[in-house]
Amino acid sequence: MNDRMGPPPIPAMAPETNESLTRSMIDQESESRAISDSLKTLWVYIGSQFLISFALSLVLGFFMGFFLSVFLPYTGDSIYEVTTNVVLLGATAASAIAAIAYGRKAFGIQIEKTEFSPVKNWMDYIRKTCMCYSLTVPLLVLVSGISLVLELLFGLYIPEAGNVNYSIGGESVYFITAVIAAPILEEIVFRGLIFKALKKYSLSFAMFFSALCFGLLHMNLFQGIPVFAMGILLAYFYHQSNTLCLPIGIHMINNLISVLASASLGAISTVLSFAPIVLCLIGFYFLSQEWSSIRSCFENSVPAKPLWNITAHKVSFWLLVALFGIMSIVVILFPGTI
């Protein structure tokens, strides 16, 4: 009789364990697909913006050049500025609409009318705008310091964000683009679609990733850094209020101050150029009051690390980062080309 015993039988996995593994794999696939759709939405936004800008520049440049040479030979500068800003408005609106259309289909998200409910207390716009400035102004100071060092050491000039010098016609079109169209459309894309689609997986990841996409859209390191910080707070405000009207309003106020401060409006522009510093100081107070609530969002959120690991394996993400870096270098080496 053989007394030797064979290896012990391998215990069967409990049904719960199999179900848990299957659910985990499904969750990972869903997360990966949502991140991919977010990146594709951003690619649609950026790609269509380049293509539409190029097409509009060709068409408007040809027709405006023809009519100027025949009918208005002495007003080229002002008409050129108007044409440039018309191209900007057209590209901004068309590319955002394309991204919204793609994102809605990819995410299966319907933007309800309730998401545009007005904010009951209008002071929320002021308080939360100040909070945004409390993050963006220190970063702008940092960016300005880097710009100064680059200029002193290497003679490289970094154009100031929002520096505007245009005619009356160009001013009107640029105002519509920067203060009305861009805030509405960008908030729908980055908060109403990307953030909303990702927050069910991890609130903290959704806040940072949607803000990162928001920064990458600007294709300029020296604008992208402050915009990234602002995007985090805008996502938080949208999450807390459940209405896009709040981040849209804050975005509008921020752009309005930037446009008016950069325009040639004499004393008004001079006064408004100091507004960000004042709003920043006030914002530190409001941010300190809100900090515990902001911190709880991150503490109670599902860990974001697995989603960042998924993002790090996306080729489309690194292509975006590379494009962002290239465009940032172009802005430094060839100011005024973008």
Residue 296 lies in a domain: yes
Tens digits of residue pLDDT in 178-206: 999 999 999 999 999 999 999 999 999 99
Quick one: what percent of the chain has pLDDT higher than 90?
53
Residue 285 lies in a domain: yes
Q: Which string of DSSP letters, residue by residue, matches 126-165?
A: HHHHHHHHHHHHHHHHHHHHHHHHHHHHH----PPTT---
Tell me which of 58-72, 89-103, 151-165 is least confident: 151-165
Give 163's pLDDT tier (boundaries 50, 70, 90): very low
Residue 187 lies in a domain: yes
3-state secondary structure 190-217: HHHHHHHHHCCCCHHHHHHHHHHHHHHH
Residue 73 lies in a domain: no
Return the closest-CA partner of residue 261 out of 276, 275, 272.
272
Question: pTM here?
Answer: 0.86
How many other CB atoms are there within 10 angstroms of residue 27's CB atom? 12
Tens digits of residue pLDDT in 273-304: 788 899 999 999 999 999 999 999 888 889 99
* Number of domains the chain is built from: 1
Assign 274 to helix, strand or coil: coil
pLDDT of res. 271: 79
Tens digits of residue pLDDT in 66-84: 665 555 554 545 666 777 8
pLDDT surpassing 60 at residue 160: no
Tens digits of residue pLDDT in 17-42: 544 445 466 688 999 999 999 999 99
Tell me which of 1-10, 47-56, 197-206 is least confident: 1-10
Question: Angle between the 168-175 and 76-107 helix axes, to the nearest 10 degrees?
Answer: 10
pLDDT of res. 172: 81
Contact 133, 251 (CB under 8 A): no
Residue 99 lies in a domain: no
More confident residue, 189 or 263: 189
Q: Rounded to whole angstroms, what are the CA distances from 134 to 47, 155, 288, 300? A: 32, 30, 10, 24
Residue 112 lies in a domain: no
Residue 19 lies in a domain: no
Residue 327 lies in a domain: yes
Tell me which of 65-69, 220-224, 271-275 is least confident: 65-69
Assign 10 to helix, strand or coil: coil
Q: How many residues can be counted in the chain?
A: 338
Output phi, psi for 199, to 5 deg: -70, -20
pLDDT surpassing 60 at residue 8: no
Tell me which of 129-143, 144-158, 219-233, 281-295 is least confident: 144-158
Output phi, psi for 200, to 5 deg: -70, -20
pLDDT of res. 259: 86
Measured CA to CA, the distance from residue 103 to residue 98 in angstroms comes to 8
Range of the domain at 312: 119-333
